[in-house]
Structure 1
């Protein structure tokens, strides 16, 4: 039988684990949650790896630029974005509408250590690569950007055209 104080310690440890999937914009971003909730957004939904038919490689660096900074996909296409950070500092790639990204960038200015992790973003430490699988099931013009404070403002963004 477990004594009451020991039960409380186990309970506290178990409850503290509920917030583990969130990440801050720091070095500790080496891993992404293994399973993210697929939530429909105006720019698409998290994709299934088995549905990927194409990979798009994107490089980013301390010049605050993505290469390429534009790409197109067909509506309904699931792609794997392979994002490589060629810089010496942490960068990220976040997909969204231009308005949603601008709003989030403003929030990051106010709260630069805000913790979050979503299926439409990849945090990439210096010299590393991350993969993001996304299903573009809505046609339109969307965007991607690095929302780390100052990076978006320096022009670190790109365009995604989802063709009908």
Structure 2
């Protein structure tokens, strides 16, 4: 099923339920910083480490410069590992949540996120095998 719809049973609410340690969906009117991120077929995000301040709302401008689909998902490592395992069982799964964006080769997109608490927030590509190959990053919230 590759029609852009979410797969049955594909519930990401645990990763996006309101405000959590990873933050919450941001308001475009409150963006305080814009960060450009490039995803590529070396299974890397550039940059892979980002620094923001607690309470800050960030607009991520994301580009897939590779020849493979990639995605950026903001969440905790444990939640992302569980979800990556689910995606291996269901290739072609599409996402439609505020903490994630899936981009085809050459595509650009945006994601707005508010980092509500100090700490470290992870992001990764959950397409089967990508996170395991090192397609991960960290946001340090101070």
Q: Same fold (TM over 0.5)?
A: yes
CA positional deviation for 1:22: 4.1
TM-score under structure 1 length normalisation: 0.74
- Residue 130 of structure 1, CA deviation: 0.5
SS in 2 for 1:161: strand
> Unaligned 5+ residue runs, structure 1?
1-19, 25-36
Runs (5+) with no aligned partner, structure 2: 8-15
Does structure 2 retain, via aligned residues, the 8 Å contact 1:55–1:82? yes
Map Cα deviations across residues 47-103 of structure 1 (whole Å, 9 max, x no partner). Answer: 010100210000010111110011011110001000110001110000011111111
Q: Indicate yes or no: 2:96 matched with 1:89.
A: no
1: distance between equivalents of 2:63 and 2:93?
23
CA distance in 2, matches of 1:118, 1:128: 18
Shift of the alpha carbon at 1:23? 4.2
Alignment of 1:85-124 (within 5 A): 85-124=64-103
Q: Could you tell me how far 1:118 is from its partner in structure 2?
A: 0.7
1:41 corresponds, among 10, 13, 20, to 20
Task: Report the 3-state secondary structure (helix = DSSP H, G, I; strand = E; otherwise coil) of the residue aligned with 2:87.
Answer: helix
Q: Which residue matches 1:16?
A: none
The answer to whether the aligner puts 1:154 opposite 2:133 as a matched pair is yes
Q: 1:95 to 1:127 in 2, by over 3 A?
A: same
CA distance in 1, matches of 2:72, 2:82: 15
Q: Deviations over 1:130-153 (max 9, x none)?
A: 100000012211110000011111
* Greater RCO (Cα-Cα under 8 Å, separation 6 or more): 2
Deviates more, 1:51-60 or 1:100-109: 100-109
Asked which structure has the greater CA Rg, the reply is 1
Paired positions, count: 132
Deviations 1:31-59 (Å, cap 9, x if unpaired)?
A: xxxxxx98223301100101002100000
